[in-house]
Amino acid sequence: MGIGRDRYLPVNRQDMERRGWDEVDFIFISGDAYVDHPSFANAVIPRVLEKRGYRVGIIAQPDWRNLDDFLVMGRPRLAALVSAGNLDSMISHFTAAKRPRSDDPYSPGGKAGRKPQRATVVYCNRAREAWKDIPLIIGGVEASLRRFAHYDYWSDSVRRSILVDSKADLLVFGMGERPVIEIADALSAGTPVQEIRDVRGTCYRSKEGGWPSGSVILPSFADVSNDREAFAKAFRLQYLEQDPFRGRHVVQDQGAWHVVQNPPSPPLSTEWMDMIYGLPYARSPHPMYEGSGGVPAIEEVQFSITAHRGCFGSCSFCSISSHQGRIIQSRSDESILEEARILTGLPGFKGYIHDVGGPTANFHSPACRKQASQGSCPDKECLWPVPCPNLDRGQSRYFSLLERVRKLPGIKKVFVRSGIRYDFLLAANRQDLVSMLCEHHVSGHLKVAPEHVSPSVLRLMRKPGKEIFLEFKRVFEKANGDLGKKQYLVPYLMSSHPGATLSDAVELAEFLRDIHCHPEQVQDFIPTPGTVSTCMFHTGIDPLTGERVYVPRSAHEKKQQRALLQYRSPANRKLVEETLRAVGREDLIGTGPRCLIRPSGPRRRTGNPSKPGRKS
């Protein structure tokens, strides 16, 4: 059965029998391979339930084309929990160009095709077929960000709430540990799932009138699917209710049913966070994958530590603030240090901790004190367009934590790979923090995300201006110069974001020329459900301001924008020239130092034309 298999949760009847179980309380159905590590939700939620005293089995990547894989542990006593995995299943399947992906790091051997498209809905249909009236609870990123009527890029249509499409009983949105425990305790106490209506961080289906008074009523699915202004209005209304302190109930008519969202779950305390990350994870993929090449996704996180959750950056294109929230929830230093000690004893550990961070590494403490009792401000952002006067800019706790971790026995280096928000680090106005970062926590390259340089695009992205990036570049290079180190910034850039024109892409190309940066990878904007930018993409409207927004939609224009960011590539030369001529920037075609490409024309012949083997 494999050495060490008992360190993992059961995945079949034989595992149950070894534990002396005749049934499980919950079955967790996941679109990802089972990796028992705190970076994977299909390990965290079952482990939290186990800690509460429940028996949990895991069905990872079942074959959805028949029922056999769903029946391996029998009928669960209380409920089936369903998640598409760590990513939306459509993003797992397709690129920004809607081409099938050739690999999936969350599957054995990295092979694509192990999960269905729209996995949450497909798994729920099979679970209903297998167990009829079993309570079905859905969660994870796919469910969380598709909880209302939403734009689906891959079908280019507005789809109903995934709660309605899946016919599940409850939807857990955001980080689900606390809501899942409340649901489990209610089911265990004999409460019918149809009567569980007051758990924060959940959505449920209801007939007309079955929701609290004072609820925010969104334009209906019928309205938002036919009227883009109605869609933008609905998005703004629900977006402003996603704070756990001031959020109200939100209701949307889906046709036969209404979806009712309860207020978000409260932020987790440090004690909760310590409990979650202190559970007895095996910290590796299940042994059943050993013969198929393991699970590649573990490689980046196996020797990394999650220090906190949440993000107050509020970038328009990012779903983290909608899923994890804007309020930072961090672990205690003691909990993090204990995990670091555990890592030093794992097979394959060579003294290097790859990351200590979260969605953004240096967002380790709440943005300001009032968030702990009043939540996030509904009418302004913490960092954009400029840092809020109330923002706690210190960051000394995070850098002190890094110092404590790197001084533990057995640890040679502690790197920061989850990304630094450089405008926040600059706001601390402390060169010593940048120097500490460069001296101890950068492995030659530091990832940062300016995303673009055009002021109009950055405003829609809600990102700082290029002058902030240039200032950080200067400070970073000074720190490395003082240390005698050669280290480099790796800027993440995005093409074809709403608002970005071809002229904006040219401006970005010129910027890259001026800073001598030649990116090997560029991210095309992908309209993922639930983000401000996706609403802009679908509607042509910034839902938070009502401003009309230009949207690059054609596949050809997207290729043009991407090619400009990699103008040095010979494969892009023809497209770059076409684009520069189209926008009247022939001045960038030539041999001068500021030109992006050379003029087209016949190549000069070199060598001896009469040389054997060459046609004369």
Q: pLDDT tens for residues 191-242?
A: 999 999 999 999 999 988 889 999 999 999 999 999 999 999 999 999 999 9
Kindly compute the dihedral angle of the four CA atoms of residues 471, 472, 475, 477, in this order, to the nearest 10 degrees.
-110
What value does the mean pLDDT take over residues 23-49?
97
DSSP secondary structure string for all residues of 282-321: --EE-GGGGGGT--TTHHHHTTEEE-EE--S---TT-SHH
pLDDT, position 600? 83
User: Which amino acid would we find at residue 141?
Assistant: V
Judgement on whether residues 377 and 422 belong to the same structural domain of the protein:
yes
pLDDT score at 616:
27
The mean pLDDT value of the chain amounts to 94
Whether 31 is in a domain gets the answer yes
Residue 1 has pLDDT above 80, yes or no: no
What's the pLDDT score for residue 602?
Answer: 58
What is the percentage of the chain residues whose pLDDT exceeds 90?
A: 91
Report how many domains make up the chain: 3
**How do residues 524-552 score in pLDDT, each as one tens digit?**
999 999 999 999 999 999 999 999 999 99
Q: Which among 418, 443, 468 is the end of a domain? A: 443
Q: What is the pLDDT of residue 2?
A: 41
CATH number of the domain residue 340 falls in:
3.30.750.210
CB 522 within 8 A of CB 565: yes
Expressed as residue numbers, the domain containing 96 is 5-202
232, part of any domain: no
Each residue's pLDDT tens digit, 144-173: 999 999 999 999 999 999 999 999 999 999
The SS3 assignment for 581 reads helix
What's the confidence (pLDDT) of residue 373?
Answer: 86
pLDDT at 3 over 50: no
* 609 pLDDT more than 90: no
Question: What is the average pLDDT across 512-522?
Answer: 91
Say yes or no: 438 and 465 in one domain: no
Q: Mean pLDDT over residues 440-452, rounded?
A: 94
pLDDT-derived band at 321, boundaries 50, 70, 90: confident
CB 105 within 8 A of CB 31: no
The answer to whether residue 264 sits within a structural domain is: no
What is the DSSP secondary structure assignment for residue 545, as one 8-state letter?
T
Euclidean distance between CA atoms 321 and 315, whole angstroms: 8
pLDDT surpasses 60 at 312: yes
Distance CA 177, CA 55 (A): 16
Amino acid identity of residue 336, one-letter, is: I
Last residue of a domain, one of 202, 222, 241: 202
Last residue of a domain, one of 389, 411, 443: 443
Domain membership flag for residue 502: yes
Residues 415 and 450 in one domain: no
Question: Who wins on pLDDT, 415 or 605?
Answer: 415
Kindly state whether residue 233 falls inside one of the protein's structural domains.
Answer: no
In a domain, 271, yes or no: no
Kindly state whether residue 280 falls inside one of the protein's structural domains: no
pLDDT of residue 208: 80
Residues 469 and 419 in one domain: no
